[in-house]
Each structure stands twice: as structure tokens, then as C-alpha cells.
Amino acid sequence: MKKTSMAYSQVAKKDTADIGDYSTKERNYFLVGMFGQNIIYSLIGAALNLFYTDVLLVSTTVVAIIMALSRVWDAVNDIIMGTIVDKTRSKWGKCRPYLKFIPLPMALATIFLFLPFTGISDGAKVLYICLSFLLWETLYTLGDVPLWGMTSLMTADENKRAKLISSARIVSSLGAVIIAVFAPLKDMFGKLDLGLFANTGQANYSGYFSEAQGYFFAAVALSIVGGILFRIPFSHIRERIDTSASKDNGLKQNLKLMFENKPFLLAISSSILGCTKMLVASAGLYFCKWVLGNGSEGIWIIVLGGSFIGGTLIAMALSTSVAVRLTKKRALLLSSYLSAIPFLLIFFFSNITWLFITLLVAAGFFSGFSDVYHTTMVADSVDYMEWKSGKRLDGVFFSGLNFSSKLTASITLLLSNGLLSLVNYTGTIKLLEAQKKAAAAAGSIFTLNFSASYPDIAKMMLILITIVPAIGCILQALPIHFYNLSEKRHKEILEQLEVLRKANKNT
């Protein structure tokens, strides 16, 4: 073990330690990988639930239960993968090896999630969903933890790290723009009569259409692009924090350190409590498809999704300068409370299109700050734990961030599917599917005005993208009132760590 540690230390000093701070070019390569990874994550976060409920026609309740149970594996998987990353010793460093070997398998696992098994039994569908999702989840974690872990290894400079994380959050949000591309891409593939799928029809549309075919080929295209981009950074980025002197911990010790790290727990708690903001993306697709598009997302997902994401990107670009003026804590508190206001106003003025769009921009703007600050606070907590215990656990703590993001996705799915089940969403969609198929077989057009025919479902979808997110905006602020790792204190910690690292190198 000692020989391995010494060998790694020599490699680290040669390959990572004294090569200067990251360059603009290196940062850009990192961001390319971040964009690719988030193409895949955004595809899963928004489109997969729709695929399960509207294409495979699995009950919203069943899907919610499967996703909830999968988080039991996540809780174990994330901390195990984080521990594995922290124990990694290679000529490429601690996190970089995973950026070489994981992206392409993860892309293939993503495609596997969208296989159009529409003709099998309900039990077989459930088994397929469980197996394919657990495979994807494992591979995703092995890629995501090291990718975000690199933000604390590429530089020891607090300001450069904050800028890197801010840029990474902006680019990861740009990955969500792919969802706007997904809908027209899915419709384009769905309208190609390749002789592979039966014509199942589309409401208010004449001609061939297969939604199963559309989902599958759109997922193939986006997964391949995302996987290739995610693989690019490996050859162009470097680790600069030498972690070879840090002793390896077991799983039990890592868990203990996580729960002793108060700044980390508060940042993660805030992120989880604010998770309902994600409903704008997930439940928003249902709203665009049925309430606004009468069975087809069309232009609406671009207009509404673009408005929210546009506001988010502006906030992320400003987050570093705002934090300098206010501190991260004050900026996060202020933006959290303010973000609830436009969500509430949208509920009452959703029938006025221009006001609806303006309020979505405002909601995205105030919501965007928290994504950056939560990640930065986790990165700061890694420094805090190294200073406090002598152990630098980038993989473990960023696995906690990864777990919180997946847990929040699960919570929003439970809320979305649970509330939709109260208004008989699955039964309604099955009825509409049968009517569309009958119309397609007869060569006629199935006409639909969803809001007029199903007002209760339309109202529930509106609640899911307005009232519920507003509650989350307020809740996420509560833990931050107790956060005390200030910028001044963190700077002092970094200065002391720099002295300790130099001393370790000289011994």
C-alpha cells in the first residue's frame, strides 16, 4: 500500500502538481464535457417519465413507486462510487480515469432506456424499467461524481473555482435546452414511415405518426452526441490538488465525515427542499404537450422552456459578482424568497401569454442563483473537511451532491405522478391512445381540445408548475439561515491548507 501511495505521489507531482492554474482552453474543454453529460441528464430528467406514461402506458403511480424504490439503491450506490473514486490511484489522477471509460457506456445505457417495448405485458414492462434504469443509474454516477469532483481538483484558487462552477452550472443548464430540441426531433422521427412501427396517429394531425419510434430515434441521436462530448475533456484537463497524502477511508468513516460536515449538510438540505422547482421542466412537458399543444409539445416547449432557461442562464452568469457583493449566503436567501413570487403570479395569470412568458423569465432568473451557490458550497465544504480532518474526499462529497440531485428528481416525480394519478391521468391517456389508433386505422383525423375535455387534469398540471415550485423556493431558504462558512472563513482555511500542502511535499 505504501509503495502504491508513493508511486501515485510521484505521478501526481509530475502530471498534476506543478503545471500552473487551469487555462481558458482547459476550462472550455471541461465545459464541453459538462454540456455533453447534461444532454443525457436533461433527456432522462424530462423525457423518460413521459416515455413511460405516454408511450409504454405504464401507470403514473407504478412509475413513481419504481423511481422511489430506485433511490434506495442510489443511497448506497452514490456513497460507494464516491468512495471508489477517492480510493482511485492512477497515472491520470483520481477523477480523470472515469472521464475516459464511462461516457460511451453511459450513452448506450441511455439508449437502452428508450427501447419501444409497447407490445409486452405490464409485468414485463415494469421489469424492463427496473433493470434498465438501475444500469443507467450506476453508470451515470460513475461519470457524474468525477466530473463535478474535478471542479475542486483543477484549482485551489477560490475565485477561479467559483467562476468554474458558475460556468459549469450555466453550461449544464444549456444542456436542458436539448429538451426544447427533443420535442421537434421526436416528432420528426415519429413522422418517418420506415415500416418498423405501426401508425398510432397523433391528435389533430393527418398522416403517419409513431410516438414510440420518435422517442427511440431521438434518444439515440442525443445520447450519441452527449456521450461523445462527455468523453472529450479527459485528454485536455488536469488535476492540480495532490491528494496522495490523504489516507483512504472506509465506507463507514466516509459516512461519518459527511454527517459531521455541517456546511455540507445544510447546502444539500437546501438543495433537496428546493427540488420542486424542477417541476417546471418535468411537469412542464406534460403541460406543454396536453394543455397548450393538445397532444403535441410543438413550439410551446421551446417558447416556455426557453423563457425559464433564459432567465436561469442570466442569473448563473451574474452569480459570482452578486455573491461578491452580498456573500453567497445572503444572495441565496434573497433569491430563494423572491423566486416564489413569479411562480405564484403565473398561476393567476396563466391565460395572458405575454405575462406568462415574462413571469417565467423572472422565475428562472431568481431560481438560477441557487444552483450555482449549492454547488459552490459543496466544493467549499470539501476544503473545510480537509482542513478539519486532514482528509480530502472530493468523490464522497460530490457523490452526496449527485445523490441529492437524483433524490430531488425522484421527489418531483413522486409529486407529479402522484397528483396526476388523483385526476385519472393514466386512464385518460389510455383512452386517448385508443381513439388515436382507431382514427389512424380509419384514415381520419382525431381532433382534441384537451383543456375543454379534461379541465381537472389541465388545472392539476398548472398547479404542478406554479404553486408546488413556489413552496419549494421558500423551503430551500430555511437551512441556509444556519450556514456559517463565510467567504472570510473559507479564505483563511484555504491559506492554511496551502501551507500544510507545501509542508507535506517537502517531507
Ramachandran angles phi, psi of 227, nearest 5°: -65, -40
Cβ burial, residue 270 (10 Å; 0-12/13-18/19+): buried
For residue 342 the three cell numbers come to 413569479
208 three-class SS: coil
Categorise residue 294: left if φ over 0, alpha if ψ from -120 to 50, beta otherwise: left
Rounded Cα gap, residues 192 and 38, in angstroms: 27
- The CATH number for 21-240+249-506, chosen from 3.30.310.220, 3.30.2350.10, 3.30.70.20, 1.20.1250.20, is 1.20.1250.20
Residue 491 Cα to chain centre, angstroms: 29
381 three-class SS: helix
Ramachandran angles phi, psi of 28, nearest 5°: -65, -40
Q: Give the pLDDT score at 2.
A: 37
Rg (CA), the chain: 23
Residue 303 Cα to chain centre, angstroms: 21
Is the distance from CB of 326 to CB of 334 less than 8 angstroms? Answer: yes
Q: Give the pLDDT score at 10.
A: 42
Q: Give the pLDDT score at 82.
A: 72
Rounded Cα gap, residues 346 and 355, in angstroms: 8
Rounded Cα gap, residues 331 and 366, in angstroms: 10
Rounded Cα gap, residues 217 and 223, in angstroms: 10
Consecutive sets of 10 residues in the chain, 507 residues long: mean pLDDT of each?
Answer: 38 44 88 92 86 94 85 69 76 86 95 93 94 91 86 78 81 74 90 92 92 95 95 87 58 74 92 89 89 88 85 90 93 96 94 90 94 87 84 71 76 90 95 94 94 96 96 96 92 86 69
DSSP character string of 258-296: HHH-HHHHHHHHHHHHTGGGGHHHHHHHHIIIIIITSS-
Q: Give the pLDDT score at 453.
A: 96
Is the distance from CB of 230 to CB of 103 less than 8 angstroms? Answer: yes
Q: Give the pLDDT score at 201.
A: 92
Q: Give the pLDDT score at 20.
A: 59
pTM of the model: 0.80
Rounded Cα gap, residues 413 and 135, in angstroms: 19
